[in-house]
Amino acid sequence: MLNEHTFTRVDGTTATLEEYRGQAWLIVNTASKCGLTPQFEGLEQLHQTYRDQGLVVLGFPCNQFAEQDPGTDEEIQEFCQINYGVTFPVFSKIEVNGEQTHPLFAELKAAAPNADDTTEVEWNFTKFLVTRDGEVTRFSPKTNPTDLTAAIERLLVRV
């Protein structure tokens, strides 16, 4: 079950998605030195627009794709806040593919495979939109966060 997985906050404390129970989640593997890094701006815009309606954006830095997030957790957090004004939760770095895949991403990938039925995360900024009921939809790294507005609004009206 998605809300049972544990992960680490930047301050070293442990968290679970249980803290966000009753909300819809937009879970994204992020990177601070990627051509798609400006998507932080759109992710923050979604967070600001929909957080009071029940959406939480959750960022999970990952250094698996061309080593595009090499910094420490603290450096990544500072980069996100200074350059993009990020206020949504950004957690410690994880792996999203391979033997060390974080269990949260293993479950997300299994629930929402790629169009060709493969499950690997293809690149930074793959997005998983999770309904309050646990239904998962995957969006391509190239999908601009603001292009998710209609999908988010549809799922937020469902109670």
Q: What is the pLDDT of residues 80-132, one digit of tens each?
A: 999 999 999 999 999 999 999 999 999 999 999 998 999 999 999 999 999 98
Question: What per-residue confidence (pLDDT) applies to 9?
Answer: 87
- Whether 12 has a pLDDT exceeding 90, the answer reads no
pLDDT for position 113: 95
How far is residue 54's CA from residue 140's CA, in Å, rounded to a whole number?
23
DSSP secondary structure, 123-158, as one string: STT-EEEE-TT--EEEE-TTS-GGGGHHHHHHHHH-
User: pLDDT-derived band of residue 5, with 50, 70 and 90 as boundaries?
Assistant: confident
Find all residues with CB under 8 Å of 133, minimum gap 6, and list them: none
**Residue tagged active-site, from 34, 43, 94, 121:** 34
Q: Is the pLDDT of residue 77 over 60?
A: yes
Domains of the chain, first to last: 2-157 (3.40.30.10)
Q: Which residue has the higher pLDDT, 1 or 75?
A: 75
Cα–Cα distance between 38 and 87 in angstroms, integer?
A: 15
DSSP three-state, residue 119: coil
The tens digit of pLDDT for each residue in 147-159 reads 999 999 998 876 4
Mean pLDDT of the chain: 93
pLDDT in tens, 43-72: 999 999 999 999 999 999 999 999 999 999
Is residue 108 within 8 A of residue 9, CB to CB? The reply is: no
What are the helix (H) ranges across the chain?
Answer: 39-50, 73-84, 103-111, 149-157
pLDDT in tens, 18-31: 999 889 999 999 99
For residue 10, give Cα distances in angstroms to 14, 49, 83, 94: 9, 24, 18, 12
Q: Is 80 marked active-site?
A: no
